[in-house]
Structure 1
Amino acid sequence: MKLEEMFATRADRLKASEIRELLKLLDQPDIISFAGGIPDPALFPAQAFQAAYAQALDAEHQAKALQYSVSEGYLPLREWLAEHMAGIGVPCDVDNILITSGSQQALDYLGKLMLSPGDTALVNWPTYLGALAAFNAYEPRFDRLDLGVNHGVSDYAERAEAAGGRVKFAYLSADFSNPTGETVDAAGRARLLDMAETLDCAIIEDGAYQALRYDGEAIQPILAMELAQKGDLEACRTIYCGSFSKTLSPGLRVGWIVAAKPVIAKLVLMKQAADLHSPTINQLAIHGVAEACFDRHVSNLRAAYSARRDAMLAALADHMPEGVEWTKPEGGMFVWITLPKGMDGAALLDRAIREERVAFVPGGAFFADGSGINTIRLSFSNSGEAAIVEGVSRLGAVLRRALSD
């Protein structure tokens, strides 16, 4: 008997994450890695977490910290998040908030909630590959999200209907997106809201990097814009996914969803069926640290990551050969590189590791159709400025050799 012969058809759609595989390179000390979009562990608020966990395990709190809890999430944390969301233009009740095991679980739940086989998910080209993986299990088709002023919205509906389904949602990270680092301007966000109304579909707004703006004027979240239009969160079609992974700690796996209460109620049932609730002690710890130092800590992160971004952009200007282009993000963790046509990012990675001990992520993994092979993603968040300059210099040397071959 072969158990794999009993797998559901959706199992054939599961693919290994290139980034998760590349993270193994971080254990090799001679590698300069721009691969993982991960925070610098040296910047974690470790002392604040030590104090928070000590408090969670003291005589007053340990029974709550170590016990089963409600699926919606730790109430004081949801109350803190309600205040936080109000601060970015989204006043809401605690019943509009669900705590998840990272925003990746939020994406999985939303795919499960909304997608039937053959339905369409609109995504950027390229987009966050974790979102592609989460949605892919529910057997959708992907269509390219285009927020250009001349794009025909009706084409989406026609293609979706021809494929036997309908457009269920548009997914995007509007601020400093993974992988490109680009930001959707206010006009683009307004067009997306109009598009969603025309298509009668949801919007999934991934706010993982929203707090990490280094320069430029802040733009309202899409949910805040829609709420200002409609005056009632219960009438909004935008679903906001947030995370503490890029600000406080990725290892605790604490994220959240903000949405209309009927959406949250259904997601709570999914949470109950999947894992009952996110780890209570981690929620208590995140709440303690957020209350103690969130704003101050994020301000420190912005200063550190901004300097690293500047170092990478300057190094790219100094060391990249002619024909290479890159984005200039106002925040986040990523710079997106477009190589000359005909170059293969995956082949370049193999060569860069062998010849110069530099790692990055090939861009093809971020495209739903596997295109974009002449692109790569660099992350600047987990390397010091000197290592960034050295790594980009080495990458430039590999590129010049590759172009001359």
Structure 2
Amino acid sequence: MSLPNLFATRIKGMKASEIRELLKLLDQPDIISFAGGIPDPALFPVEKFQAAMAKVLGGGNHAASLQYSTSEGHKPLREWIAAEMGRIGIACTPDNILITSGSQQALDYLGKLFLSPGDTALVGWPTYLGALGAFNAYEPRYDRLQPGGNRSAQDYAAQAAPGRVKFAYLSVDFANPTGVTLTQTEREQVLDLAEELDCAVIEDAAYQSLRYDGPAIPPILSLEIARKGSIDACRTVYCGSFSKTLSPGLRIGWVCAAKPVISQMVLLKQAGDLHTPTLNQMAIAEVANDDFDGHIEQVRALYRSRRDRMLAALERHMPAGVEWTRPEGGMFVWLTLPKGMDGAELLAQALRTEKVAFVPGGAFFADGSGRNSLRLNFSSPSQQAIDEGIARLGRVLTAALTPA
């Protein structure tokens, strides 16, 4: 008997996450890791969560918090999210909100909702590795999304044949992995392209709250509402998360979209896990209502200082020929190495000789290209670890670029 012979064809496209494997390195005290996109646990509002858990489990609330609940999600939390969406130009109601088990589940459901085998997903080059992992199970092909590029909608459609383009997926603010933010013009261009292709737009806004510099840019969904007058006329699906702001461990994300999209995703939720844990939703709602803005300001201040520390260290230690992004927010800096270098090979050398970790860039490309790149995280390591780790990485790169 060989059960793998019975596995569905979709399993062939599913691969282990390089990031999840690298997270195991965090347990080794001698490793300085820039690998995971991990919040600093010192910023978790522990006391507020303790009080919230006590409240939702006490005073007769335990029946609701420990019971089955609606698939759409805890209504007070959806009301809070709808109000927050309104603050960034996305006028909606709680009926436009679905609570998910992190935004990762939202991406999985959206892949299931839109993709048939052979359909095309337009993605960045590079793009979020977790999105590729979510979409791979539904056997799509990928094409490179180039806002403002020279490609026409007709060219995208021709490349997708005999299937069709189902959606454009993009992280618009401080993208994972590059840290790059799309301009308003580029966001408008994505909408124009989606209109011509008659496809959906999936706006991954996991880092939207983490802006450190510059003016905020309207979300794509906000821009589309301004065009069409109502969220229920829009093709953009907005995915948000509390993982980068309050707690990743509670696994609370959300989708904000037109009601017909939410209705179908509710059916997927019912078939998948019935509902996101009620206790977690209620606790998040309590903490979010207790000075969310004040908490975010603390997060921004710390991460801004760490971003600045990393950029300054890169200026000091990187050899000639290495380039990097300068993000206005988020958690990541993206390094591009001289052609011919391999980030995966460099990681093996860095771990062996300098005990420093990062994520090789090739994992973020749908076609496996971009191997002369890597991603660095600045939200988790301390400023001292950033200084020392970038110095170590600089030595590794200098050695690799020095002729034998």
* TM-score by shorter chain over 0.5: yes
- The match for 2:77 is 77
Letter paired with 2:377? S
1:150-165 to 2 correspondences below 5 Å? 150-161=150-161, 164-165=162-163
Matches of 2:180 and 2:372, distance apart in 1: 18
Shift of 1:12: 1.0
> What are the superposed Cα offsets for residues 233-275 of structure 1, whole Å, 9 maximum, x if unpaired?
1110000000000000000000000010010000000000000
* Rounded Cα–Cα distance in structure 1 between residues aligned with 2:101 and 2:41: 20
Match of 2:127 in 1: 127
Match of 1:229 among 227, 237, 242: 227
Query: How far did residue 59 of structure 1 move?
Result: 2.9
- Shift of residue 149, structure 1, vs aligned partner: 4.5
TM superposition shift of 1:60: 2.2
CA distance in structure 1 between the partners assigned to 2:103 and 2:123 by the alignment? 17
Q: Distance in 1 between matches of 2:262 and 2:360?
A: 36
Aligned to 2:56: 56
Aligned match of 1:296: 294
1:196 aligns with 2:194: yes
Q: CA–CA distance in 2 between the matches of 1:366 and 1:112?
A: 21
Deviation at 1:150, TM superposition (A): 2.7
Letter in 1 for 2:302: A
Secondary structure at the counterpart of residue 146 of structure 1: coil
- Give deviations 1:41-96, integer Å, cap 9, x for gaps: 01111111111111111032111000000000000000000101001110101110
- 2:355 — aligned with what? 357
Greater mean alpha carbon deviation, residues 149-158 or residues 119-128: 149-158
Amino acid at match of 1:10: R
1:332 paired residue number: 330
Q: Which residue of structure 1 aligns with residue 106 of structure 2? A: 106
1:267 — aligned with what?
265
Q: Secondary structure at the match of 1:16?
A: coil
Identify the residue that residue 10 of structure 2 maps to in structure 1. Answer: 10
Q: Which residue number corresponds to residue 38 of structure 1?
A: 38
- Runs (4 or more) in structure 1 with deviation over 6 Å come to none
State how far apart, in whole Å, the 2-side matches of 1:293 and 1:48 are.
10
Q: Which runs of 5+ in 1 are unaligned?
A: none
CA distance in 1, matches of 2:9, 2:180: 35
Could you list the per-position Cα deviations for residues 175-194 of structure 1 after superposition, in whole angstroms to 9, with x for gaps in the alignment?
A: 00000000000000010110
Match of 1:395 in 2: 393
Q: Which whole-Å CA distance do the structure 2 matches of 1:293 and 1:38 have between them?
A: 22
Deviation of 1:384 (Å): 1.1
Alignment of 1:113-192 (within 5 A): 113-161=113-161, 164-192=162-190
Distance 2:178 2:154 in 1: 27
1:156 corresponds to which letter in structure 2? Y
Q: Which residue does the alignment assign to 1:312?
A: 310
299-308 or 150-159: bigger deviation: 150-159
- Secondary structure of the equivalent of 2:290? helix
Q: Which amino acid aligns with 1:263?
A: V
List alignment gaps of at least 5 residues for structure 2. Answer: none
> Aligned AA for 2:368?
G
Matched residue of 1:240: which SS?
strand
SS in 1 for 2:291: helix
User: Over aligned residues, Cα RMSD in angstroms?
Assistant: 0.7
| d(CA) in 2 for partners of 1:149, 1:231 | 28
Give 1:152 deviation, angstroms: 2.1
> Post-superposition shift, 1:323?
0.2
